[in-house]
Amino acid sequence: MRRALYFIVFLYALVSCQKPENPQGGEPHVPNQPTYKVGDYFKNDTLEGVVFYTIGAHNGLMVSLEEVVLPWCDLAHLVCETGATNPYDGWNNTNIVTANYDLNNFPAIDWSYQRNTWNLVHYPHKLINHRQWYVPSTTEMRYLLMNQEVVNTTLDSLGCPTLEDKIYWSSTETGTRGVAAVRLQDDKIVISDAVKTLEYYVRAIRAY
């Protein structure tokens, strides 16, 4: 009798510990999302890039495979203060410029912005149209160049131009005539106040 009682208790404990695969009234089963680390090649539908910053295992920032050399703005807007001064959020800077100016007068911003298809891109169980391609802020550019070596390894393997000892535009305006330009020099991040009409490298980034 005692053995039978022990067996019943054991069987009840075993069954109660197992969750049904599709519990009624519970949350729907969602397949695991892919995880990424810095340096990974990201490709999904029409999106391609290299991860350079992660937020948890499933979110972060990636950089474009291409780059270009352009002025930040044309001569007619050299002394124009756009208000795009955010040192942390390049998407915010982009929105300010696009909302108030003709992008044809701001080649660096325009190049990154025109990369956007504005189509809904399906990522596993969510849409990632929250942010599109944009010119990074000084802080975002700093994160990118701090991980230059591992990002370059992936870019090189794909036959794409790498991040070398180049000066890159940020989207962070510093004053009437200036925008912050960023470079990695002697393993140190150097941020300088550059005249907007100068031609420097531009890379686009976006959230994934």
In a domain, 111, yes or no: yes
Here the tokens at position 24 are 């009624």
In a domain, 2, yes or no: no
User: What is the residue range of 202's domain?
Assistant: 41-207
**DSSP assigned state of 95:** H
In a domain, 103, yes or no: yes
In a domain, 136, yes or no: yes
pLDDT tens readout for residues 63-117: 999 999 999 999 999 999 999 999 999 999 999 999 999 999 999 999 998 888 6
Measured between alpha carbons, how far apart are the two ends of the chain, in Å?
A: 61
In a domain, 24, yes or no: no
In a domain, 130, yes or no: yes
In a domain, 65, yes or no: yes
pLDDT surpassing 70 at residue 181: yes
Beta-carbon count within 10 A of 128 CB: 18
- Backbone angles phi and psi of 145, in degrees to 5: -70, -25
pLDDT tens readout for residues 5-25: 443 443 344 334 444 444 455
Q: Which pLDDT belongs to residue 4?
A: 46
pLDDT tens readout for residues 119-147: 444 444 444 445 689 999 999 999 999 99
Domain count, the chain: 1
Task: Provide the pairing of β-strand 178-185 with 188-195.
Answer: antiparallel
Range list of β-strands (E), 122-187: 122-123, 126-127, 168-173, 178-185
Residue pair 189/49 in contact by the 8 Å Cβ criterion: no
Helix (H) or strand (E) holding 96: helix 90-100
In a domain, 76, yes or no: yes
**DSSP assigned state of 159:** T
Cα 145 to chain centroid, rounded: 13
The full length of the chain comes to: 208
pLDDT tens readout for residues 190-208: 999 999 999 999 999 999 8
Q: What is the model's pTM?
A: 0.79
Report residue 27's pLDDT band, with 50, 70 and 90 as the boundaries: low
Beta-carbon count within 10 A of 33 CB: 13
Q: Which pLDDT belongs to residue 45?
A: 77
Residue of 67, 69, 77 lying closest to 196 (CA atoms): 77
